[in-house]
């Protein structure tokens, strides 16, 4: 089994993993960042709404490649169709291209010195004397062992790292979502994000319509 060694192994190149990898690499340690998909950012499981503060926190700028649509207000519909509008002169929101956003974050991690391995799926952590000392991963039909002083489990809600390390889940339940990218639309107000509440449209949660342009919207229920 091929053996790799690093200081920090980060599992999952979503926003959390790429930002953790970047921060560690910027401090001069050897980082390996692994991502199960062949391409960072895809598939997209997200409504793609992000405020300007979200960009600032991520250390990115709202470039035309990442931003699909600028949003000036959020409208929250009650079951009786009355709505509340949330807006502010110092608030800017966006519907982004989440795949481009995630890719940009992973590129920053690589620029900082992290080694990115896509198409590499962690199957579990390695433990020595009860202490996590690395991860085992599948990559291109072979099994790879990555020894690390620190393992960061940034592999999302169903985290393999968390489960194999024997850690519990802090959130009580998981809500199933349905999400679609609808095209060929003719939206009157593409600069408005909509939330729809009520037991008929979205029992226990909400439905969203986040325009990506006048013709395209990210629409979902969760």
Ligand X SMILES: Cc1cc2nc3c(=O)[nH]c(=O)nc-3n(C[C@H](O)[C@H](O)[C@H](O)COP(=O)(O)OP(=O)(O)OC[C@H]3O[C@@H](n4cnc5c(N)ncnc54)[C@H](O)[C@@H]3O)c2cc1C
Summarize as ranges the residues that interact with ligand X (CB under 6 A).
11-17, 34-37, 45-50, 121-122, 154-156, 160, 177, 179, 220, 222
The smaller minimum CB distance to ligand X, of residues 8 and 11, is found at 11
Q: Nearest Cα to 142, choosing from 160, 127, 120?
A: 120
Nearest distance, CB of residue 21 and ligand X, angstroms = 11
Q: Nearest Cα to 169, choosing from 179, 159, 184, 180?
A: 159
- The SS3 of residue 54 is helix
The smaller minimum CB distance to ligand X, of residues 113 and 156, is found at 156
Q: Are strands 202-211 and 192-198 parallel, antiparallel or unpaired?
A: antiparallel
Q: Are strands 120-128 and 131-139 parallel, antiparallel or unpaired?
A: antiparallel
Give dist(CA 47, CA 129) in Å, integer. 42
Residue nearest to ligand X (CB): 14
The smaller minimum CB distance to ligand X, of residues 102 and 187, is found at 102
The smaller minimum CB distance to ligand X, of residues 131 and 178, is found at 178
Nearest distance, CB of residue 163 and ligand X, angstroms = 10
Nearest distance, CB of residue 185 and ligand X, angstroms = 18
- Six-digit token string for 222: 């969760």
The smaller minimum CB distance to ligand X, of residues 48 and 194, is found at 48
Angle between helices 15-26 and 98-111 (to 10 degrees): 20
Nearest distance, CB of residue 67 and ligand X, angstroms = 14
Residue position matching structure tokens 């072979």: 142
- Count of other CB atoms within 10 angstroms of residue 155: 24
Taken as a whole, the chain contains a residue count of 222
Nearest distance, CB of residue 156 and ligand X, angstroms = 3
């Amino acid at each position: 089994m091929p053996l790799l060694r690093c200081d920090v192994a980060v599992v999952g190149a979503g926003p959390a993993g790429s930002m953790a990898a970047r921060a560690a690499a910027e401090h001069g340690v050897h980082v390996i960042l692994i991502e199960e998909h062949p391409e960072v950012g895809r598939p997209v499981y997200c409504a793609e709404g992000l405020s300007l503060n979200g960009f600032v926190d991520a250390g990115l700028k709202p470039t035309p490649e990442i931003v699909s649509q600028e949003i000036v207000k959020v409208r929250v519909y009650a079951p009786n169709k009355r709505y509340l509008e949330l807006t502010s002169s110092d608030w800017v929101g966006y519907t982004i291209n989440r795949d481009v956003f995630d890719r940009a974050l992973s590129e920053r991690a690589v620029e900082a010195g992290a080694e990115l391995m896509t198409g590499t799926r962690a199957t579990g952590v390695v433990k020595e004397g009860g202490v996590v000392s690395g991860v085992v991963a599948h990559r291109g039909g072979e099994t790879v062992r990555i020894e690390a002083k620190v393992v960061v489990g940034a592999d999302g809600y169903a985290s393999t790292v968390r489960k194999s390390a024997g850690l519990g889940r802090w959130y009580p339940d998981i809500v199933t979502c349905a999400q679609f990218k609808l095209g060929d639309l003719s939206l009157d107000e593409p600069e408005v994000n909509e939330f729809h509440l009520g037991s008929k449209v979205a029992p226990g949660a909400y439905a969203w319509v986040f325009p990506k342009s006048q013709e395209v919207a990210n629409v979902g229920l969760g």
